[in-house]
């Protein structure tokens, strides 16, 4: 069974940093593009970042560009999101998701999410 | 940035009725549009990818259609487990974008 498990969510002060992790299992992790999607409390879905299978290509939403960094370690089947200069508006559940198809497909597998709260 | 507008915001229907959800893009996204279902307290689940392809395990009562700027998700006969929020999402261009969602609620 394909599975994604996020961790690392926490309460952090504005201006602080946090690193999210996503552990993948049940599929050939190094063959798939991956991404992060977030959802503020009571709101809709917002795409955050994406990374190619090898990690050589990365993409970011304007709202996080320059503050967040996506990376992966294919030897550990792990995806990461380094979040710096956090703001109250970054408060959300962060989902790790596997992209399907032969390249940049739809998000076909999702983790259960990890909650990031930015507050003083 | 491609803006996706979903309508209606809320659809109130009874089990057994047909649900028709709309997603309109501000510019062409070809057929690179997906639909997701989300229930309270759960992660989203892929329902339809590339406009008209059912994802693994999705029942045949779900169907998707459209291309370019206008897309439709149809649930032919609502089951109790289908009441949820549905989001469309395009992957035609960066940044990826989601629609605001349609809530399908029990009437």
Q: Is the pLDDT of residue A118 over 80?
A: yes
- In tens, the pLDDT along A19-77 reads 999 999 999 999 999 999 999 999 999 999 999 999 999 999 999 999 999 999 999 99
Q: What's the mean pLDDT in B84-94? A: 97
Residues B46, A59: C-beta atoms closer than 8 Å:
no
Chain B touched by A9 (CB under 8 Å): no
CB B55 within 8 A of CB B47: yes
CB A94 within 8 A of CB A36: yes
Q: Is the pLDDT of residue A101 over 80?
A: no
> Which of B49, B47, B45 has the alpha carbon at shortest distance from B31?
B49
Q: Is the pLDDT of residue A103 over 80?
A: no
* pLDDT value for B54: 97
CA–CA min distance A93, chain B (Å): 10
- In tens, the pLDDT along B50-65 reads 999 999 999 999 999 9
**Residue B36 region by backbone torsions, left for phi larger than 0, else alpha for psi between -120 and 50, else beta:** beta
B10: three-class secondary structure by DSSP: strand
- Average pLDDT over chain B reads 97
Q: Which of B43, B91, B99 comes nearest A112 by C-beta?
A: B43
Q: Which two tokens stand for residue A115?
A: 């909650």
Q: Is the pLDDT of residue B23 over 90?
A: yes
Task: Please report, rounded to a whole number, the percentage of residues in chain A having pLDDT higher than 70.
Answer: 99
**Residue B72 region by backbone torsions, left for phi larger than 0, else alpha for psi between -120 and 50, else beta:** beta
Residues of B whose CB is below 8 A from A44? 87, 98-101
Chain A touched by B44 (CB under 8 Å): yes
* pLDDT value for B44: 98
Q: What's the mean pLDDT in A66-94? A: 98
Task: Please report, rounded to a whole number, the percentage of residues in chain B having pLDDT higher than 70.
Answer: 100
Q: Is the pLDDT of residue B10 over 90?
A: yes
* pLDDT value for A73: 98
């Amino acid at each position: 069974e394909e599975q994604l498990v996020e961790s690392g969510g926490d309460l952090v002060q504005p201006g602080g940093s946090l690193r999210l992790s996503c552990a993948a299992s049940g599929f050939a992790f190094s063959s798939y593009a991956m991404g992060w999607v977030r959802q503020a409390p009571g709101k809709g879905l917002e795409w955050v970042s994406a990374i190619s299978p090898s990690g050589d290509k990365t993409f970011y939403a304007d709202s996080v560009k320059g503050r967040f960094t996506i990376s992966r370690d294919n030897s550990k089947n792990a995806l990461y999101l380094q979040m710096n200069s956090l703001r109250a508006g970054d408060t959300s559940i962060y989902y790790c998701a596997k992209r399907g198809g032969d390249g940049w497909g739809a998000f076909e597998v999702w983790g259960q999410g990890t909650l990031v709260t930015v507050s003083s | 940035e491609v803006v996706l507008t979903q309508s209606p915001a809320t659809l109130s229907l009874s089990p057994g009725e047909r649900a028709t959800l709309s997603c309109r893009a501000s510019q062409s996204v070809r057929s690179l549009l997906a639909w997701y279902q989300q229930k309270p307290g759960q992660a989203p689940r892929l329902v339809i990818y590339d406009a008209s392809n059912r994802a693994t395990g999705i029942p045949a009562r779900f169907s998707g259609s459209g291309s370019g700027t206008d897309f439709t998700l149809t649930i032919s006969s609502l089951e109790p487990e289908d009441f949820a929020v549905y989001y469309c999402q395009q992957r035609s261009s960066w940044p990826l974008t989601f629609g605001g969602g349609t809530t399908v609620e029990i009437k």
